[in-house]
Amino acid sequence: MSETSETNETVVRVNHFRKLYGDLVAVDGISFEAHRGEIFGLLGPNGAGKTSMLECLEGIRQPDGGTMDILGIDPASQPRRLRDLIGVQLQIAGLPATMQVKEAMRFFSAYHKVAPRYDLLDRLGLGEKLDSQYDELSTGLQRRLALALALAHKPPVLFLDEPTAGLDVGSRAELHTLMQELRDQGATIILATHDMAEAEKMTDRVAILLRGKIVATGSPRELTATGAGFTKVSVRTEQSLLAADDTNFPAVSQRAVKEEYVIYFSTDPGPTVSAILQYIGTQNDKLIDLRVERPSLEERFLEITNSGGVQ
């Protein structure tokens, strides 16, 4: 994962975007930018407004307020100009039940006026399913096909809505590799996901949505660093002297014993680890295992959403 985007060129720009469904405000004044060569994550619980926002950016729905543009094109007023610039894997979409895999590639490539990318089908594990009809594919294969179709015309901007839902471990890893390659080639990827591990691993920056508003934004590392979450320092020694000794180490606010490990919750792990190692040395004990785990994005996400977005 690259810490910063390749360039600072803004590719997707959203300003004070609003979306209403009757009286329900689904998205309320959201603003963000995504840059070239960046994977930008949209995180949020169900109903947070992620899909509404993506569908407006993709030109499928009309926004009720604010402005948005993709490479200078307004999706609401110029959706046709957008078609060859974006690749979209929708959360809810389908293909005709009787459409074969190779037919689907030929069909959509022709509408994008590009040669069919059968190599993508091979890469995504569909090479042996070229003659299979859409309704004969498993959910995972259907999602892989949707992804191959989204990539076939080499769009500079990709919208992926829960791309790994229903994928097995191997396919998921392959998709992640593919996303990294595309990012390295300069593509901008807007990734909506519920999978925090995926967001933490894949995205350069994320925005956390809650009840139609962005409540936190930044790189996963920045977000996890700014929370009240503690770094977990787990220690196991030969004589387990730490388990019986409740010595106060610097920056530790809480201590627990679990099986053969003593776990310290530290606000500043450097001094804590240093003091623990020194203590073990002075006690003539022997270190067997030491693990330092910073708070995960998932823990930070839960912290933010449970507090209702108040930080």
Partner 1 sequence: MTAFVNHFVFEFKTGLRNSNLLLMNYLFPLAFYAMMGLVMTQVNPTFTETMIPAMVVFVAMVSTLLGLPGPLVESREAGIYRSYKINGVPALSILSIPALSTIFHVLIVAAIISFTCAPLFDGVVPENWGNFVLVTVFAFGALGALIGVISANSRSTVLWSQLIFLPSMLLSGLMMPLDILPESVRFVSALLPATQAMQAYLGLAYNQATVIAPLASVGTLLVGGILAFGLAIYLFNWDSRNDVRRGNPLMALLALAPYVAGAFLMR
Enumerate binding residues for partner 1 (CB under 8 A).
21, 58-62, 79-80, 83-84, 86, 88, 90, 92-99, 103, 106-108, 110-113, 133, 146, 149
Nearer to partner 1, 111 or 270 (CB): 111
CB-wise, 161 or 195, nearer to partner 1? 161
| Closest of 195, 162, 199, 6 to residue 88, by C-alpha | 162
Angle subtended by helix axes 101-111 and 139-151, to nearest 10 = 30
We find the least distance from the C-beta atom of residue 267 to partner 1, in angstroms, to be 46
* DSSP-H helix ranges across the chain: 50-57, 79-82, 101-111, 118-123, 139-151, 169-184, 196-202, 220-226, 241-244, 269-282, 297-306
Q: State in angstroms the smallest separation of the CB of 37 from partner 1.
A: 23
Q: What are phi and psi of 241, to 5 degrees?
A: -65, -30
Strand partners, 88: 159
Q: Which is nearer to partner 1, 13 or 83 (CB)?
A: 83
How far apart are alpha carbons 258 and 73 in whole angstroms?
A: 56
Least Cβ distance, residue 175 to partner 1 (angstroms): 19
Residue type, 36: R
Please check whether residue 230 is in contact with residue 295, taking contact to mean a CB–CB distance below 8 angstroms.
yes
> Strands 231-237 and 65-70: what pairing?
unpaired
- When the beta carbons of 52 and 272 are compared against partner 1, the nearer one is 52
Which is nearer to partner 1, 28 or 55 (by Cβ)? Answer: 55
Residue 251 CB, nearest approach to partner 1 (Å): 51
Q: How far is the CB of 155 from partner 1 (least distance, A)?
A: 10
Consecutive H or E run containing 205: strand 205-210
**Pick 113 or 258: Cβ nearer partner 1:** 113
Cβ closest to partner 1, residue 146 vs residue 235: 146
Among 311, 42, 2, residue whose Cα is nearest residue 194: 42
Q: How far is the CB of 73 from partner 1 (least distance, A)?
A: 14
Q: How far is the CB of 36 from partner 1 (least distance, A)?
A: 21
How far is it, in rounded angstroms, from Cα 161 to Cα 172? 14
Backbone phi, psi, residue 235, to 5°: -130, 135
